[in-house]
Amino acid sequence: MATSSDFQQMLRGAAMRVTRPRVAVLRAVYAHPHAETDVIIRAVRQELPEVSHQTVYDSLHALTAAGLVRRIQPSGSVARYESRVGDNHHHIVCRSCGVVADVDCAVGEAPCLDASDAQGFTIDEAEVIYWGLCPDCSTATAQGRT
């Protein structure tokens, strides 16, 4: 697990000012992979009870823009944040409970998929979301049929 000094160094490395809210938001994102904003706010408020919603939103936006966290938003879901950045991995989402898990690229490096017609674009990332049922929901569904 990363420490406060690790988070401070990450911020400095991204040419960002080190603030207590930014460090707390980074700690929350690292502690809660694929967390919704409300989960991050609750985690940050355990450390900094006085922090506002807007400060957390602003910190998430700045950290995302700096490439220190990644924002994902599967169809029909609220935005979620994760600390795994820079490797162009994908996600799998349970249709029943909404749990999200990481899935490594199937082939090669970023963008790890080739468009059939890039239409002149220089593609640097591919985003794939797999949908299905997680093991718990699959088991529950199977047990409901018996």
User: Residue 108 — left, alpha, or beta (φ > 0 → left; ψ -120 to 50 → alpha)?
Assistant: left
As assigned by CATH, the class of the 86-145 domain is: alpha beta
| Contact between 145 and 139 (Cβ < 8 Å) | no
Q: Delimit the domains of the chain by residue range.
A: 4-72, 86-145
4-72 and 86-145, same CATH topology: no
| Contact between 54 and 73 (Cβ < 8 Å) | no
Q: How far apart are CA 13 and CA 139, in angstroms?
A: 45
pLDDT value of residue 58: 98
Query: Residue 113, exposed/middle/buried by CB under 10 A (0-12, 13-18, 19+)?
Result: middle
pLDDT value of residue 109: 64
Q: How far apart are CA 39 and CA 113, in angstroms?
A: 32
pLDDT value of residue 146: 55
115 — pLDDT class (breaks 50, 70, 90)? confident
pLDDT, tens digit, for every residue of 28-76? 999 999 999 999 999 999 999 999 999 999 999 999 999 999 999 988 8
pLDDT value of residue 75: 85
Least confidently predicted of 8-12, 102-106, 113-117, 137-141: 113-117
CA distances from 86 to 54, 92, 116, 118, 126 (A): 26, 18, 24, 21, 12
Q: Round the average pLDDT of the chain to a whole number and report it.
A: 90
Q: Is the CATH number of domain 4-72 3.60.40.10?
A: no
